[in-house]
Amino acid sequence: DVKVTQSSRYLVKRTGEKVFLECVQDMDHENMFWYRQDPGLGLRLIYFSYDVKMKEKGDIPEGYSVSREKKERFSLILESASTNQTSMYLCASRASGGAFFGEQFFGPGTRLTVL
Amino acid sequence: AQKVTQAQTEISVVEKEDVTLDCVYETRDTTYYLFWYKQPPSGELVFLIRRNSFDEQNEISGRYSWNFQKSTSSFNFTITASQVVDSAVYFCALSEAWGNNDMRFGAGTRLTVKP
């Protein structure tokens, strides 16, 4: 059974703290993604990675950074958390396949609250 | 630029009613993929269907059916004889085959099925 796991389901942090959200997939997928989900806005792409040590900015990268040191792990970092980063964060992975464009597999999400 | 619009923010039906969730997309590519995902209260997005731009055949899977019409840039999703377990947020998404391989999501439609 394919699996994307995220380190925490719920997280509460204080303004200014450095926050790490971890995502691990066991499907040997090349591509990994971080989204945030807010009511009325759907899912918005923060960053994605198509290979180890490679990263690309998505639509809303400001205030975030990422790290991909191993194929199975993709970390999202909030350098200095702010209240407007309170949100649900979703990680996903997808295989590469040329003409075959597969679906993304999602983790359960981390609901982050910044006080 | 790619864009997905789900105009229905919330829909409420009574069990056994049929319901259609609308999805309209914009893309300049001729090769693209459309997806529907379900997000139940547990939070994890569940993949429902993928359709490529060259396959306009409608698809039926049990009580679910999808109507893809390139002429109107729509990819609508119908649930027949809805059940309480269908209550969830449903997302439509689009990926352009030769873009950044990222996925654009609509804002989602929250479906509530009442007993």
Q: What is the DSSP track for B41-92?
A: TT---EEEEEEETT----EEETTEEEEEEGGGTEEEEEESS--GGG-EEEEE
Half-sphere exposure of B82 (CA within 13 A, CB side): 22
C-alpha to C-alpha distance for A15 and A36, rounded to whole angstroms? 18
- Cα B12 to chain center, whole Å? 17
Does B12 score more than 70 pLDDT?
Answer: yes
CA distance A23 to A57: 17
Chain A residues inside the 8 Å CB shell of B107: 40-42
Is pLDDT at A100 greater than 60 in this prediction? no
Taking contacts as CB-CB distances below 8 angstroms, the residues of chain B near A48 are: 100-102
Q: Which two tokens stand for residue B73?
A: 């840039």
pLDDT band at B99 (very low <50, low <70, confident <90, very high): low
**Phi–psi pair at A110, nearest 5 degrees:** -125, 120
DSSP A43-75: EEEEEEESSTT--EE-S--TTEEEEEEETTEEE
Amino acid B97 reads A
Least confident of A81-85, B58-62, B63-67: B58-62
Question: What was the pLDDT predicted at A104?
Answer: 87
- Residue A85's pLDDT is what? 97
Residue A97 has pLDDT above 80, yes or no: no
Chain B (16-75) residues lying within 8 Å, Cβ to Cβ, of chain A: 33, 35, 37, 42-45, 47, 50, 52
Distance from CA of A108 to the nearest CA of B (A): 4
- Which residue out of A30, A41, A43 would a mutagenesis test of the B interface target, given it has the greatest number of B Cβ atoms within 10 Å? A43
Per-residue pLDDT tens for A44-93? 999 999 889 999 999 899 999 999 999 999 999 999 999 999 999 999 99
Shortest distance between the Cα of A3 and any Cα of chain B, in A, equals: 11
pLDDT at B57: 83
Q: Which helix (H) or strand (E) holds B102?
A: none
A89 forms beta bridges with: A36, A110
The pLDDT value given to residue B92: 96
Contact B106 A42 (CB under 8 A): yes
Q: What is the DSSP letter of A14?
A: -
Q: With an 8 Å Cβ cutoff, are B45 and A88 in contact?
A: no
Of A31, A41, A108, Cβ closest to residue B44: A108
- Asked if A68 and A7 count as a contact pair (C-beta separation under 8 A), the reply is no
Cβ neighbours around B83 below 10 Å, total: 12
Q: Which residues of A touch B55 (CB under 8 A)?
A: none
Q: Which of B4, B9, B45 sits opposite A106 (nearest CB)?
A: B45
